Each structure stands twice: as C-alpha cells, then as structure tokens.
Amino acid sequence: MIKLKFLPYIFTLISVLPACGQTQTNELKNKTSMNEKINRNPEVEVNKEELKQKLTTEQYNVTQMCSTEPPFKNKYWDNHITGMYSCVVCNSPLFNSDTKFDSGTGWPSFFKPINDKSIIEIKDTAYGMVRTEIQCSKCHAHLGHVFDDGPRPTGLRYCMNSASMNFTQDEKSK
C-alpha cells in the first residue's frame, strides 16, 4: 500500500514523461492502432497558429503537446465551487462539479464525465505503462488520464489538467 502523501510525487514522476506521442515518434506506433478505432477527424477543426494566440503557453502545451501541468500549482485542483468545466479549446462541456472529488493528487479529479460522448479514451502504452489518455471528443484536445482507483459509484478517477479546462460557476450558487 502506497502512503497517500507520496502519491503526488509518484504522479509527478509519471507526469514528466510525455503522455502522448505527438513529439514521440517511437511511441506513435502503439497509439496509432488505437487511434484508428476512433474518429480521426475532430468535429471542431483547430488552427494551431490561432490557438497559440488564444491560449496561454501552458494551455497550448497541455492540450496540443500532451504535457502535464504541475500538481497543486494549477487553477482548479482545490476548486470547490458549484459549476461546469468545459474544454479550453472548443468550449465543449466536459465535467460537472458534482462529480469532482479530492483525490489528493493535486490535479482536478472527477469520477465521471458530463456524458459518455463528451470525451474519448485512448490506450497509452508508452514507457511500459498502461494508461488511458482522455481527450475532448469534439476537438481532440489532450485533457489528462483516467485510472481505475476512483471512488464510488464508478470507481474511476479522471485526472485532468486545469490548463485544459475553463470553469463556469453555476448561476444559482452565486
């Protein structure tokens, strides 16, 4: 049993490894076979140059280069306000605050997406680890990973990057 206080360090170690293969051609082979099973053409076309203007460097690196932001030093890991999280690139709704939980990892964590169609899952076998990458289903922005050590009712932990999401506070809770 790994003590919880070490978890952030372990996740940090994992997270410094590139998660998806856009710049890692060696890893692309593994991922391509999985990617072929999903729609290769995103519903929302993204212009990378326009995105660079629109997003911060961190938002661009996370969503387009699959980088991972640091734990505990991001916008939403400790956000407990009622509202909705949407894709920072295309604004598509992703997660509701009522499925957010404190995972102790330092990243915003949810046990369920807003609906089955809001995200896509891609098996990521880079570096001998089997992980499942999560992307926005509309624009294929990289969001984070999902793990099977989450709370009930799903038992899943969607470990997201704050930089890949915008948060909108629920009007009623203002």
The answer to whether 159 is a known catalytic residue is yes
Q: Which of 20, 66, 139, 159 is catalytic?
A: 159
- Among residues 131, 138, 142, 157, which is the contact residue for Zn ion, using CB under 5 A? 138
- Smaller CB separation from Zn ion, 92 or 103: 92
Examine residue 87 and tell whether it contacts Zn ion (CB under 5 A): yes
The three state secondary structure string of 159-173 is EECHHHEEEEECHHH
- Among residues 141, 146, 159, 165, which is the contact residue for Zn ion, using CB under 5 A? 141
Give the integer Cα–Cα distance in Å for 132 and 161. Answer: 14
For Zn ion (CB under 5 A), the number of binding residues is: 8
Give the integer Cα–Cα distance in Å for 69 and 47. Answer: 22
- Per the CB < 8 A criterion, the answer to whether 98 and 141 are in contact is no
Q: How far from 102 is each of 21, 72, 107, 109, 131, CA to CA, in Å?
A: 29, 12, 9, 7, 21
Cβ 142 to Zn ion shortest distance, Å: 10
Structure tokens at 12: 């940090």
C-alpha angle 60-64-68 in degrees, rounded to nearest 5: 75
Cβ 90 to Zn ion shortest distance, Å: 3
Cβ 95 to Zn ion shortest distance, Å: 13
- Per the CB < 8 A criterion, the answer to whether 115 and 21 are in contact is no
- Among residues 89, 119, 120, 156, which is the contact residue for Zn ion, using CB under 5 A? 89
Give the end-to-end CA distance of the chain in Å, rounded to a whole number.
41
Examine residue 136 and tell whether it contacts Zn ion (CB under 5 A): yes
Examine residue 55 and tell whether it contacts Zn ion (CB under 5 A): no
Of 101-109, 130-138, 145-153, 160-168, which segment contacts Zn ion by CB under 5 A?
Answer: 130-138
Examine residue 163 and tell whether it contacts Zn ion (CB under 5 A): no
Q: Which residues bind Zn ion (CB under 5 A)?
A: 87, 89-90, 92, 136, 138-139, 141
Enzyme catalytic residues: 159
